[in-house]
């Protein structure tokens, strides 16, 4: 078991390292639009951000993904923490701080896709091991995702975030078959949709799996999951809503 964990950790570490080194190579195209959104959200706030006058492109991503862009910029703008740590404990090294200052903005924007790759690799391990009971084959599945040139290109170079939404959708399907954790399946699928709506194409597969393994306990768990999912969906929209009370003078003017 310890050997398996070491091998999986090593493969994931190598895959992440390759991605980190590649992230600065492309700063144009979609990732440049993501940069514009993340800067705008940080500077102007989340409230009514879908209705700002944006220089290039109006946001087309769902709320949860936009929150991710906001968080990326928030972390980047507070990178002084790295310098403070260096002054206290000499870590991280100055070379890393300098590199991050130059490339960290794009690294943080692409981090969401990299996290999606990691989640997908771990899901692949558990699914393959469950089906085949072969550790080596399951570990090979991890390597095929983390060291796949197409996966590396899409997440680390191009900077597309489809994989993070897909990863939560895969996790949702995986937990649907779980005896005790199936109530988390629908909330995870809602999270996936709140990141990338394209995962709705997996809904027929979700329904087919549900029908095949149907039990009344599963139905009850999905009802609980539906309530949790709706609650999570509402929460993702709250930061973007105008929560200030209406101006009484403006209302009076409109009425008159």
* Alpha carbon distance 14, 5 (integer Å): 14
Mean pLDDT in residue range 113-139: 95
Q: What is the model's pLDDT at position 57?
A: 85
Out of 27-41, 133-147, 191-205, 237-251, least confident range: 237-251
Cis peptide before 145 (omega within 30 of 0): no
Out of 39-43, 56-60, 125-129, 154-158, least confident range: 56-60
Closest CA to 144 of 168, 160, 126, 120: 120
Q: Which residues contact 144 (CB under 8 A, 6 or more apart)?
A: 124
* Alpha carbon distance 147, 212 (integer Å): 34
CB 76 within 8 A of CB 250: no
């Amino acid at each position: 078991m310890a050997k398996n964990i070491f091998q999986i950790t090593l493969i994931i570490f190598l895959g992440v390292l390759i991605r980190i080194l590649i992230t600065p190579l492309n700063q144009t195209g979609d990732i440049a639009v993501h940069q514009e959104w993340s800067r705008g959200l940080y500077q102007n706030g989340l409230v009514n951000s879908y209705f700002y006058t944006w220089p290039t492109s109006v946001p087309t991503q769902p709320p949860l993904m936009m929150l991710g862009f906001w968080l990326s910029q928030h972390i980047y703008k507070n990178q002084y923490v790295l310098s403070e740590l260096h002054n206290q404990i000499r870590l991280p090294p100055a070379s890393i701080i300098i590199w991050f200052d130059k490339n960290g903005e794009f690294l943080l924007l692409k981090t969401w896709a990299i996290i999606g790759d990691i989640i997908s690799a771990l899901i692949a391990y558990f699914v393959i091991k469950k089906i085949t009971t072969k550790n080596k084959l399951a570990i090979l599945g991890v390597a095929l995702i983390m060291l796949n040139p197409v996966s590396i290109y899409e997440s680390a170079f191009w900077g597309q975030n489809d994989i993070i939404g897909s990863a939560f959708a895969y996790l949702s399907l995986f937990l649907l078959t779980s005896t005790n954790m199936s109530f988390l399946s629908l909330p995870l699928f809602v999270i996936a949709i709140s990141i990338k709506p394209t995962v709705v194409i997996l809904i027929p597969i979700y329904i087919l799996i549900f029908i095949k393994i149907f039990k009344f306990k599963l139905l009850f768990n999905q009802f609980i999951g539906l309530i949790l999912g709706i609650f999570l969906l509402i929460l993702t929209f709250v930061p973007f809503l105008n929560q200030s009370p209406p101006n009484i003078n403006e209302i009076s003017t409109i009425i008159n």
